[in-house]
Amino acid sequence: MAKTETTTVSIRTKGTLPRVPFASIKEAILGEKYELSISFVGPTLSRTLNTTYRGKNKPTNVLSFALSKQSGEVVLCESVMKKEYKKFGMSYKKFVIFLLIHGMLHLKGYDHGSTMESEERKFLKKFSL
């Protein structure tokens, strides 16, 4: 588990993740004081969370949970991301960054649509190293 002052990353899978500037992305989107937990989970936990909170009985690539105005969690499913990244025409690392940005924008209050997509493109350009 990696931890900075307000960003915690936990890995609950056996795979290897790409090097991603988690704290920098979080600070750019949510601010320095926002407390964020980022979890990489397997498909069983992803399915359970997706079923419980969205009524969809399948694992999903990313889920976001706002815990308060200044804290939240982004849950990413490694196996789903590895199955999907090529469909999006991205490298695996870029797709992880994209989904992380997507989840954080939901925490910031964005809903799917053109405004969110514009913000995703802006941050993806900034952080796709």
Which CATH code of 3.40.390.30, 3.90.550.10, 1.10.3720.10, 3.90.1150.10 fits the domain covering 2-127? 3.40.390.30
> Within 10 A of 45 (CB to CB), how many other CB atoms are there?
15
- Pseudo-torsion of CA 41, 47, 52, 54, nearest 10°? 100
Residue-range domain boundaries for the chain: 2-127
Q: Grade residue 5 by pLDDT with cuts at 50, 70 and 90.
A: low
pTM score of the predicted model: 0.88
The mean of the pLDDT values for the chain is 90
Q: Is the pLDDT of residue 28 over 60?
A: yes
User: What is the per-residue pLDDT across 79-92, written as a single tens digit (0 to 9) for each?
Assistant: 999 999 999 999 99
Q: Grade residue 31 by pLDDT with cuts at 50, 70 and 90.
A: very high
Mean pLDDT value of segment 21-44: 94
Distance between CA 61 and CA 41 in Å, rounded?
Answer: 10
> Which element (helix H / strand E) includes 129?
none
